Chains A and B, each alone.
Chain A
């Protein structure tokens, strides 16, 4: 699905606005090699400023590489025409905007734009897809409310609905759970798992390692623009590796029900020797 080799890029995109100057800036991502297969459920993690959002934008084709390649089904993703790309990749950005006067339904229907032509306009299928997406993101009851008047979490769900409504084989989400409550976090991740089960590739930037460990099959850790860890939660969530990534004392334990690794902060005065111990009685 996505294959990148020796990929490096800066903050600014290929699309005219910032032109050549931006492309010569300090690269945010460097020497990235990875391969995402179709139908994978991937979480991207790492400290602030490690390049997570930049990686997502690069996958969405908004950034041109300074070196290397980023291929979507074999084609350089930043070269695809936007209308074609929007039918293959949907991306929820971190900064969400709602134009004034725009209802939630209007906002969600914007996700159908790649499928409309000048003459056809929005079809009944588009409207049904929007209702379906609003149902999944739990915003159907807000459909006729003005998007600007929603709370942060509700706006985020409305934008998630728009992203789902694009019905693309690759879905990229930048911190979709940032302003959601616990119940909606769980509900969203279940929706993503359903999409995954239907063969959709999902890549999600997250800050919450524990959430990622519970719901995702593959975790990527970035540090200073480089890919430092890549694998399933059981394999990559190890104390020494995570302390190297986050440069802070941590403790790794097991989830009491699922046995999956979970991570907690270990404030500085706890001796390192104690933190390596896995609590007794949790071994399987």
Chain B
């Protein structure tokens, strides 16, 4: 079947992309060594013949980063597909309801506070302990920020009389702008940490390792399971609240659950990688043109597609400006926008962008 072929192709593409991205980098390591090192890490092959340095670069640096890119891309694409369907708005993306702004505020607060604590800690000789704290506190604060933003948006939407899609989007815009002002305030107060904050907000996978994967994974798995569990109900929600109720879907409860699940994976992604735009917008639309609007398949395909897109964007981000002596890295969000923009224009040119179903 064409369908199964597509799935196989997407999965192969994801695995191949992760492996290929381990080959590319300033230090030339050939495919053979990469395969051996990865195989060794998975316990499938004997990698003891490889130099430790090669193994460390491949497994701890490149593989960890590629796996995280795959996960973050998948999370953003799934959240995008869900937000587009729940809000029935083709322009919705994971950040429409202000989740990104909330997560960014949480992160900037921790970065700002972390700097202060480090200064204090250095005086008291507690620096190593506090450095560890700020690494694990950052994703948690971003996650909390994202979730509490969703709560605020929902409360605001409810106060406005009805939890309609338009009210939700409007509430999201309002909350986002208030949060943006708060971020600016935090930046102004913690001037010395502005660099770190801006770099974090721009979105990057630089220096991320297995520790970040471990932080990201639980939230991604829980949120992803919620989305997968209720994906089929998304198709019925497209009929409108009333008809969905008549067909046995507890529409308000499931909409809320889906919004929470999507927020959770988004917040997890933002927590480990900052704000990476365009993946959540482009990936679902790319597959919506090919797949029938069955939300479950769309969700799975967007996840794989978004993951692959981010893996390659990250490869470009770290190689485009790289020189033999190191060079600099582009923020990966810039690459996704530069890749995604023209692609989106191409999709628009091929035909009307389908309204999410």
Q: Do A and B bind each other?
A: yes
How far does the alpha carbon of A16 sit from the alpha carbon of B162 in the complex, in Å? 8
Least CB distance, B234 to chain A, in whole angstroms: 10
| Interface SS of B by simple majority | loop
Q: Contacts A15-B252, A102-B293 given: A114-B247 contact, CB under 8 Å?
A: yes
How far does the alpha carbon of A47 sit from the alpha carbon of B98 in the complex, in Å? 47
Q: Does B251 contact A (CB under 8 A)?
A: yes
Partner of A111, one of B247, B249, B294: B247
Interface segment out of the listed B106-114, B216-224, B236-244, B300-308 = B236-244
How far does the alpha carbon of A91 sit from the alpha carbon of B245 in the complex, in Å? 10
Contact pattern, A 71-101, Cβ under 8 Å of B = 1, otherwise 0: 0000000000111111101110101011111
Q: Does B132 contact A (CB under 8 A)?
A: no
Q: Contacts A100-B354, A118-B229 given: A17-B162 contact, CB under 8 Å?
A: yes
Chain A residues within an 8 Å CB radius of B355: 99-100
How far does the alpha carbon of A126 sit from the alpha carbon of B42 in the complex, in Å? 43
> Which of B140-189 touch A at CB < 8 Å?
158, 161-164
How far does the alpha carbon of A1 sit from the alpha carbon of B73 in the complex, in Å? 52
Chain A residues within an 8 Å CB radius of B243: 93, 97
Contact between chains at B236 and A113 (CB < 8 Å): yes
Contact between chains at B354 and A101 (CB < 8 Å): yes
> Which of B243-265 touch A at CB < 8 Å?
243, 245-252
Least CB distance, B172 to chain A, in whole angstroms: 18
Contact between chains at B248 and A62 (CB < 8 Å): no
Q: How many contacts A-B (CB < 8 Å)?
A: 88
How far does the alpha carbon of A102 sit from the alpha carbon of B298 in the complex, in Å? 13
Contact between chains at B292 and A60 (CB < 8 Å): no
Contact pattern, A 44-70, Cβ under 8 Å of B = 1, otherwise 0: 000000000000010010100000000
Interface size bracket, B side? 20 to 34
Which of A86, A93, A101, A166 has most B Cβ within 10 Å? A101
How far does the alpha carbon of A54 sit from the alpha carbon of B250 in the complex, in Å? 20
How far does the alpha carbon of A82 sit from the alpha carbon of B248 in the complex, in Å? 4
How far does the alpha carbon of A98 sit from the alpha carbon of B243 in the complex, in Å? 11
How far does the alpha carbon of A85 sit from the alpha carbon of B247 in the complex, in Å? 9
Q: Does B357 contact A (CB under 8 A)?
A: yes
Least CB distance, A243 to chain B, in whole angstroms: 35
Interface size bracket, A side? 35 or more
Q: Contacts A97-B239, A99-B293, A101-B354 given: A15-B245 contact, CB under 8 Å?
A: yes
Least CB distance, B231 to chain A, in whole angstroms: 10
How far does the alpha carbon of A282 sit from the alpha carbon of B161 in the complex, in Å? 59
Chain B residues within an 8 Å CB radius of A110: 235-236, 239, 247
Chain B residues within an 8 Å CB radius of A111: 247
Partner of A82, one of B164, B232, B249: B249
Contact between chains at B293 and A81 (CB < 8 Å): no
Chain B residues within an 8 Å CB radius of A149: none
Contact between chains at B357 and A62 (CB < 8 Å): no
Chain B residues within an 8 Å CB radius of A102: 235, 238, 292-293, 357
Chain B residues within an 8 Å CB radius of A113: 232, 236, 247-249
How far does the alpha carbon of A194 sit from the alpha carbon of B232 in the complex, in Å? 32
> Which of A1-22 touch B at CB < 8 Å?
15-19, 21
Which of A18, A102, A110, A118 has most B Cβ within 10 Å? A110
Chain A residues within an 8 Å CB radius of B229: 118
How far does the alpha carbon of A12 sit from the alpha carbon of B329 in the complex, in Å? 56
21 CB contacts below 8 A, A to B, read A15-B241, A15-B252, A17-B164, A17-B241, A17-B252, A21-B161, A82-B245, A82-B251, A83-B250, A86-B246, A87-B248, A97-B240, A97-B243, A99-B235, A99-B239, A99-B293, A110-B247, A113-B247, A114-B247, A114-B248, A166-B247
Which B residues fall within an 8 A CB radius of A?
A: 158, 161-164, 229, 232, 235-236, 238-243, 245-252, 288, 292-294, 354-355, 357
Q: Which 3 A-B pairs have the closest CB atoms?
A: A86-B248, A114-B248, A99-B357
